[in-house]
Amino acid sequence: MNKHRIAAIVWRHWYNFKHSLDRMVDAFYWPAMDILLWGITSVYISESGSDVSQIVLLILSGLVLWQVTMRSQYEITINLLEEAWNTNLMNLFASPLTIWEWIVGISILAFIKMVITVVFAGVLVWWLYQLNILNALSWWLLPFMGLLLIFGWALGFLVSGLIFRFGTRIQALAWTIVWIIAPFSAVFYPLQTLPAWAQRVAAFLPTSYIFEGMRAVLLGNRFDLTSLTVSAILTVVYLAAGIVFFLACFNHAKKGGLARVEQ
Amino acid sequence: MLRKKSAKPVRISLMSPKVLEVKSLSKIFDGGFSLKKMKRNEPTVAVDKISFNIRKGEIVGLLGPNGAGKTTTIQMLLGTTSKTSGRIKYFGKDFDRHHSESLQRVNYASAYTRLPWRMTVRENLMVYAKMYQVAKPKERIETVLELFRMSKYIDKSFGMLSSGQITRVMLAKAMINFPALLLLDEPTASLDPEIATKVRQFLLKQREKYNVSMLFTSHNMSEVTELCDRVVFLRSGRIVAEDTPRGLAKRIQICTVRYVVDGKETAVKVKEKEIAAFLNKLSQEKIKYSEISIDKPTLEDFFLSNSYE
């Protein structure tokens, strides 16, 4: 054992840590997010006084539906990162491929992979906990999943735009961005559990309406169609904004050369 | 006729159609904002109003020292870097307005790009065969891999290939769509001499058989001399010379006369016109040499004397 070589290894990764936003995010973001998300959920469980099986159904349904947004966002972003990691961006965009063709292709892929994940998660919940989410949410599942999917695309294009703008050094956003939104989306607890300021933020997120709707349907309460409409309008606005932002960043990246995105 | 150079000479007439026209092409990179200096950095002029054409079947070399603007030029020609000003025309059509249509007939290989490393060679080439809408893609993939002696690696992961094999797969990708124009950024870098020679022979054959035009960057001067009909020489983003490789070499006009006296070699730089007078002087001074040779200027000499201002 040589103390200099051991020190060299420590320094090697410390230097890297200083230059890597993603590593810093890992160090602080995840513990904060876990404490926040599961802390609020625990508060809700202790205060609700509801039947345990109902709470399990609510949390598991939230988990499965959250996969829709998470997977669709993740697939769009990670597939762009894959091209950058493989230094394949130049090859792709030096071909007749247009950016709109890439957008449509990658969205279809995100949809397919989201369906695979959600079906798998649904089957797992049914097998392990004997809970049938499909049955519990019935036809509501379609608009819920549709809007969550499109919102995931919007987030995916937002982060992909940032990758084109700032390169792979902000790649951590690919797997962190949805979790910034998760506490405000009230995935595992009702909206009123959140403090007032957070509820105001939640009002601008289409996901908060969906998860409120999900709980209303599962608890047999009335779900207002107006909330679904607001969610749909917000989702379309976010998608349009996400794509516009993505295209602007793509064009900006071309000014510096797409090869630089790969660095 | 501009030049003949290949096993079977290819006629490139001034009447041959232009496959690529570049006019006053410029690229200025924004320096960006410096947080340390709290002001914008100076912009960099990477390519400065360059104009050149490539005719059908012509092989043009883009030469210059590092930072001359060769790669930026190729990237602008591919649309992966946006131009600041100027005009690019492929096959007589404006590139801005006919982007996909132009790139359908163009392809590209670089020593510096790769394909997804988890995918097999076949899968990677299938993606690009679909991208270029190649008819009978399976057969075409087998053909292009055969051309580069890569058939046995067809089901191997891209990441498992050696750097020479990777270069050959990149060239196979570049040939997948029967391109009318190939843009090659140092395609033979990292190839061993035998494979590099085969690649050069292959490229000349493609030109001979299908009249493929090529724009070629390389730091291997003998390769450029062997392959290129014409060389566009860049320095600091500007075209400083444009001629055949032999024409550029001739501009140097200085030869090296080497002679051996009593086993000791002496090399003297002499102007081409003054060689006879120099040899006469050696004779007059009764210098008895056992060997003598005259090295004519090469493209490399031109490169070395023109790389820096």
CATH number of the domain within which B110 lies: 3.40.50.300
Residues of chain A found within 8 Å of residue B128, distances taken between Cβ atoms: 91, 95
Q: B88 and B207, same structural domain?
A: yes
Count CB-CB contacts under 10 A for residue A240: 12
Q: B151 and B48, same structural domain?
A: yes
Residue to mutate among B76, B80, B95, B123, with most A CBs inside 10 A, is B80
Q: B271 and B194, same structural domain?
A: no
Residue B5 within a domain: no
Q: Has the ipTM of the complex gone over 0.85?
A: no
Q: What is the pLDDT of residues B88-111, one digit of tens each?
A: 999 999 999 999 999 999 999 998
Q: Residue A234 — pLDDT band, cuts 50, 70, 90?
A: very high
Residue B45 within a domain: yes
Q: B112 and B192, same structural domain?
A: yes
Q: B195 and B130, same structural domain?
A: yes
- Comparing B270 with B142, the larger pLDDT belongs to B142
Residues of chain A found within 8 Å of residue B112, distances taken between Cβ atoms: 87, 259
Q: What percent of chain B has pLDDT over 90?
A: 53
Domain boundary among B195, B218, B244: B244
Q: What percent of chain A has pLDDT over 90?
A: 44
Which residue type does A9 have?
I
So what's the pLDDT on residue A65?
92
Strand order in the sheet with B93-94: B44-55, B18-29, B85-90, B93-94
Question: Cα dist. B248→A241, B222, B237, B254 in Å?
Answer: 54, 13, 18, 12
So what's the pLDDT on residue B210?
87
The sign one gets for the Cα dihedral B74, B78, B79, B85 is positive
So what's the pLDDT on residue A171?
84
Q: What is the pLDDT of residues B207-242, one digit of tens each?
A: 998 899 999 998 888 889 989 999 999 999 999 999
So what's the pLDDT on residue A22?
67
Q: B130 and B84, same structural domain?
A: yes
> Could you tell me the residue ranges of all domains in chain A?
51-262
Q: B146 and B178, same structural domain?
A: yes
Q: Are B229 and B202 in contact (CB under 8 A)?
A: no
Q: Which helix (H) or strand (E) holds B239?
A: strand B238-243
Residue B7 within a domain: no
Which whole number is the average pLDDT over B287-307? 85
Residue B10 within a domain: no
Which whole number is the average pLDDT over B4-19? 65
* Phi, psi angles (nearest 5°) of residue B93: -115, 145
Nearest residue in chain B measured CA to CA from A96: B100
So what's the pLDDT on residue B4?
39
Q: B262 and B187, same structural domain?
A: no
* Phi, psi angles (nearest 5°) of residue B40: -75, 140
Q: B136 and B171, same structural domain?
A: yes
Q: Which residues of A touch B (CB under 8 A)?
A: 82-83, 86-98, 251, 254-259
Q: B260 and B197, same structural domain?
A: no
Tokens for B285, please give them: 């001074």
**Residue B62 bridge partners (DSSP):** B217, B232
So what's the pLDDT on residue A20?
66
For chain B, the domain total comes to: 2
CB contact under 8 A, B113 and A88: yes
Whole-angstrom Cα distance, residue A220 to residue A263? 53
So what's the pLDDT on residue B11?
62
Q: Are B156 and B120 in contact (CB under 8 A)?
A: yes
Q: Residue A220 — pLDDT band, cuts 50, 70, 90?
A: confident
Residue B4 within a domain: no
Residue B76 within a domain: yes
Tell me if chain A has a CB within 8 Å of the CB of B85. no
Q: B176 and B278, same structural domain?
A: no
Minimal Cα–Cα distance from B281 to chain A, Å?
57
Residues of chain A found within 8 Å of residue B131, distances taken between Cβ atoms: 92, 95-97
So what's the pLDDT on residue B10?
60
Whole-angstrom Cα distance, residue A260 to residue B115? 16
Residue to mutate among A90, A249, A260, with most B CBs inside 10 A, is A90
Q: Nearest Cα to B105, choosing from B90, B93, B115, B92? A: B90
Half-sphere exposure of B43 (CA within 13 A, CB side): 12
pTM, full prediction: 0.85
Minimal Cα–Cα distance from A112 to chain B, Å?
18
For chain B positions 87-146, those within 8 Å of chain A (CB to CB) are 99-101, 103-104, 107-108, 110, 112-117, 128, 131-132
Q: Decide if pLDDT at A92 tops 90.
A: yes
So what's the pLDDT on residue B7?
39
CB contact under 8 A, A257 and B80: yes
Q: Decide if pLDDT at A75 tops 80.
A: yes
Q: Are B22 and B50 in contact (CB under 8 A)?
A: yes
Residues spanned by the domain of B120 = 18-244
Q: Decide if pLDDT at A233 tops 90.
A: yes
Q: B138 and B50, same structural domain?
A: yes
Mean pLDDT of chain B: 89
Domain boundary among B197, B215, B244: B244
Q: What is the pLDDT of residues B182-209, one digit of tens each?
A: 999 988 887 888 888 888 888 898 899 8
Q: What percent of chain B has pLDDT over 70?
A: 95
Domain boundary among B219, B244, B269: B244
